[in-house]
Amino acid sequence: MGKNDRMYSKSDAEMLETADVIAASLGDDIGDFTAFDSTLTADYVTTVQGAVAQVKEVKPDDVVIDEMGEWTQKVDAAMKKSSDAYSNLAYFVRKAFNGNVAVQNQFGLNDYKKARDSQAKMVLFMETLGDQATAHHDELVAAGCGEDVITTVSEVATELRESNIGQEKFKKERGVLTQERVKRLNEVYQLLVPLSEAAQIIYRNDPARLSKYTLTSTSSAPGETDEPSDDL
């Protein structure tokens, strides 16, 4: 079984909801279960409720997605600032080094189009641009470039790097959270299976009660891992 293989066919949210219902109902019905199977005692109620509580300690995926969306917005904003900072500085680079393609290329004027579509490449591009702006500070100022145009490049580069790292770190953390959530839900599912099987006999003439303990079959797509997507 893969690290994110689910024993249940429901979504994580639906599985937790089912577990909640069973955990809430079991206290009232445990006498029926114990009378039929002496191993299903009041202690089993505590075990099930404890396992369900442990699942709830893991952040729900919809919350994780919302938080990742915040990082995406930060990265997008930093990419826009980087583009603007580059355009501002590039104007003075062309003016200060008119006709000097070699120096213009040191500023990355020939690489910008390749860098702008990649966050990782854009981080390195902006950091190099900031270094070159500092190294050629006097020539740029002489061409009419303001100090803020020069310093903004490095400031934006730092903002982009930090937001990009934050986003990538969060993507990895989402995978860890998903793995832990599925692990705990599988443990809950394994606790619920004996109850469901016993209920088929105990409540075979009581459809309403039986429905509370009925579980769907194991996953219809064995090996499916439902890895979280990074495309947010």
122-136, 170-184, 205-219: which is most confident: 122-136
Q: Encode pLDDT of 48-81 as tens digits.
A: 999 999 999 998 888 888 888 999 999 999 999 9
Supply the DSSP symbol for 54. H
pLDDT at residue 60 in the model: 87
- Write down the pLDDT at residue 174: 87
Tokens of 25: 């109902």
37 contacts 228 by C-beta, under 8 angstroms: no
Alpha helix positions (H), the chain: 12-36, 42-56, 61-96, 101-106, 112-115, 119-135, 137-142, 147-202, 207-213
Residue 218 pLDDT > 50: no
Please calculate the CA angle 171-175-179 and round it to the nearest 5 degrees: 165
Q: How many CB atoms lie within 10 A of CB 24?
A: 12
Residue 3 is predicted with a pLDDT of: 60
* In contact, 225 and 2? CB cutoff 8 Å: yes
R_g (Cα) of the chain, nearest Å? 29
Residue 85: CB atoms within 10 Å = 24
Contact predicate 161/128, CB 8 Å: no
Tally of CB atoms within 10 A around 147: 10
Compute the mean pLDDT over every residue in the chain, rounded to the nearest whole number: 90
The per-residue b/e assignment along 117-128, b for 16 or more CB within 10 angstroms, e otherwise, is eebeebbebbbb
- The string of pLDDT tens digits covering residues 87-143 is 999 999 999 999 999 999 999 999 999 999 999 999 999 999 999 999 999 999 999
Whether pLDDT at 163 is above 50? yes
- The helix or strand, by DSSP H or E, that contains position 137, with its residue range, turns out to be helix 137-142
